[in-house]
Amino acid sequence: MTASKPHAILLTSPGMGHIIPMVELGKRLLAHHSFHVTIFVVTTDSATTTSQILQQTSNLSSLNIVHVPPIDVSNKLPPNPPLEIRINLTMLESLPFLRSSLTSINNFPPPSALIVDLFGLQALPMARDLGMLTYVYFATTAWFSAVTVYFSDTDKKIMERHAESREPLSIPGCTPLRFEDTLESFLSPGGAMYEGYHAAAKEIVAADGILMNTWQDLEPTATKALTEDGILGRLTKGEVYAVGPLVRGVEKKLEGGKKGWVLQWLDEQPAESVVYMSLGSGGTMSGNQMREVALGLELSQQRFIWVVRPPCEGDASGAFFDVASGGDAEMSYLPEGFLKRTEGVGVVVHMWAPQAEILEHPATGGFVTHCGWNSVLESVENGVPMVAWPLYAEQKMNAFMLSEELGVAVRVAEEGGGVVGREQVAKVVRRVMVDKEGVGMRKKVKELKLSGEKALCMFGSSHHSLSKMRKECEVHLQASDAKLPP
């Protein structure tokens, strides 16, 4: 069958923070670059929760979404496995379904490209077997992508120096990575996490292309280092494309629908007067930390919306797999009398809030975020300055960039005993919401918002990048068609 449009297959790993940016990429490829798009969504247990949230938050009518039957790997894992191990195993188990689906697609043109996130790398050899182009999508910064590309070919001795002497890691053409902000995998060179990440980095640089959810003007140096013919540029087999900011906006459909109680409450608040606090799709805190946050919000004397999850000791990503279910809906873990004392001033939301709508609302004036990249982009997209409270993955790097380089966030400082006290919580909130410093940050973040919009418009850098990638797929498609018997 001769096809005029390339057909991109997008494979997303479990977790709303992975699914949302992949869906946004799919929408962009379909609406602005004339691709056929099929998205395979892998979930761990109840696909219903994921698909319900997806339906509530995104207009998916135009996308072809395939839910891979839920995969339960719990009996194949050691006790308390790291998040990455669980996701990787789940992705591995999804491969047979993916292969049989890809070989039997008949209502669309044959797939010409596979785009995976950082946990979908195991699917790349299969895509090559099936004659598809392979792309890896970093739903995050160019800086983190640069660190990963550099790591693919870095001498272990250099990494040991970084881990042991706590020296910054120099990344060619980019801001060095301070030890304080480094990745967990880099802490023990030679350990399982280190080796796993190293193998992943090798797979990534061997792909036909790399996409990143950032834009040239936001990260000019890291983008340049990756796209030009320098040390990093030469490490990747294919081109590196900055294609963002791809951000979930407020859907028209939802705007017309009935508003939930949180948004109704926001409607009654003055402009830019409410601070929103949320730790992404799976972030959790210890009981002590939650208590200090509650008392700190109270002390700040600011209006607030706080998304809470039951405390989780020692695991900052504790709710990653059950974003919207379970937990103690009575929120009995909050300090006694807190809900009563803050009535009218603040609202506490259990487990999951309509974040895109909250950040877009004119009453929202600040965002205390764990610095997951989707949250950061949603904040930028709405011109909302941030308090950066990084928890895991590359979030410390994001926090550094937002506070030290871009000047759009105040960073929470670590305190002895690992618990940030209520005084600091109140102080950082007031710095963004009340102090003069906050006015400057608000101005800067609004400038970033405009620069992101520019990148996506018809002649913008990100639009141009995806057009180039589209061209690559088109050429590949024509070459495959030419090989078919007449």
The minimum distance between CB 250 and ligand UDP, in angstroms, equals 11
Kindly tell me which of 123 and 356 has the beta carbon lying closer to ligand UDP: 356
Q: DSSP letter for 109, please.
A: P
248 is an interface residue for ligand UDP by CB under 6 A: yes
The verdict on 381 binding ligand UDP (CB under 6 A) reads: no
Q: Per rule CB under 6 A, is residue 82 in the interface with ligand UDP?
A: no
Q: Is 452 in the site for ligand UDP (CB under 6 A)?
A: no
The stretch among 181-189, 372-380, 415-423, 467-475 that binds ligand UDP (CB under 6 A) is 372-380
The footprint of ligand UDP on this chain (CB under 6 A) covers a number of residues equal to: 19
Binding region for ligand UDP (CB under 6 A) out of 58-66, 70-78, 280-288, 435-443: 280-288
Choose among 366, 441, 376: nearest CA to 407. 441
Chain centroid to CA 234: 26
Contact call for residue 236 and ligand UDP (CB under 6 A)? no
Among candidates 331, 411, 324, which has minimal Cα distance to 370? 411
Question: Is 18 among the catalytic positions?
Answer: yes
Minimum distance between the CB of residue 168 and ligand UDP, rounded to whole angstroms? 25
Q: Residue 231 and residue 69: Cα distance in Å, rounded? A: 42
Q: Can you read off the two tokens belonging to residue 290?
A: 């939650």
**Max CA separation in the chain (angstroms):** 77
Q: Is 41 in the site for ligand UDP (CB under 6 A)?
A: no
Any contact of residue 111 with ligand UDP (CB under 6 A)? no
Cβ 279 vs Cβ 285: under 8 Å = yes
Rounded least distance, CB 278 to ligand UDP, Å: 5
Q: Which two tokens mark 301?
A: 């004397």
What's the CA gap between 215 and 225, in Å, rounded? 13
Structure tokens at 86: 């669980």
Nearest to 117 by CA among 260, 190, 18, 225: 18
Shortest Cβ 406–ligand UDP spacing (Å): 17
Binding test (CB under 6 A) with ligand UDP, winner from 82, 280, 385, 438: 280
State the minimum distance, in angstroms, from the CB of residue 161 to ligand UDP: 30
Min dist. Cβ of residue 165 to ligand UDP (A): 30
Place of tokens 């946004």: 24
Closest to ligand UDP by CB, 20 vs 294, is: 20
Choose the stretch contacting ligand UDP; rule: CB under 6 A; options: 84-92, 127-135, 273-281, 423-431. Answer: 273-281
Catalogue the E-assigned strands of 170-324: 209-212, 239-242, 274-278, 303-308
Provide, rounded to whole angstroms, the least separation between the CB of residue 321 and ligand UDP. Answer: 11
Q: Judged by CB under 6 A, which stretch of 1-9, 338-346, 352-360, 431-439 contacts ligand UDP?
A: 352-360
> Could you say which of 297, 353, 402, 473 contacts ligand UDP (CB under 6 A)?
353
Whether a cis peptide bond, with omega within 30° of 0, leads into 96 is no
| Beta bridge partners of residue 115, listed in sequence order | 10, 135
Calpha distance 358→352 (Å, rounded) = 12
Going by C-alpha positions, the residue among 36, 279, 245, 276 that lies closest to residue 139 is 245
Give the single-character DSSP code of 209. Answer: E
Q: Which is nearer to ligand UDP, 134 or 213 (CB)?
A: 213
Instruction: Name the catalytic one among 18, 162, 361, 463.
Output: 18
Q: Is 226 in the site for ligand UDP (CB under 6 A)?
A: no
Region binding ligand UDP by CB under 6 A among candidate stretches 123-131, 351-359, 427-435, 473-481: 351-359
Convert 309-331 to b/e letters by CB count within 10 Å (16 or more is b).
bbbbeebbbbbbbbbbeeeeeeb
Q: What SS3 state is found at 186? A: helix
Does the protein bind ligand UDP through residue 356 (CB under 6 A)? yes
- Contacts (CB under 6 A) with ligand UDP, residues 298-317: 307
Cα 237 to its chain centre, rounded Å, is: 24
Active site residue 117: yes
Q: Which of 7, 117, 361, 463 is catalytic?
A: 117
Q: Is 347 in the site for ligand UDP (CB under 6 A)?
A: no
Which class for 172: exposed (0-12), middle (13-18), buried (19 or more C-beta within 10 A)?
A: middle
Should residue 373 be labelled a site residue for ligand UDP when binding is judged by CB under 6 A?
Answer: yes
Asked if 181 interacts with ligand UDP (CB under 6 A), we say no
Binding to ligand UDP by residue 321, rule CB under 6 A?
Answer: no
Q: Are 115 and 243 in contact (CB under 8 A)?
A: no
Q: Which residues are catalytic?
A: 18, 117
Q: Which residues bind ligand UDP (CB under 6 A)?
A: 15-17, 20, 248, 278, 280-282, 307, 352-353, 355-356, 372-375, 378
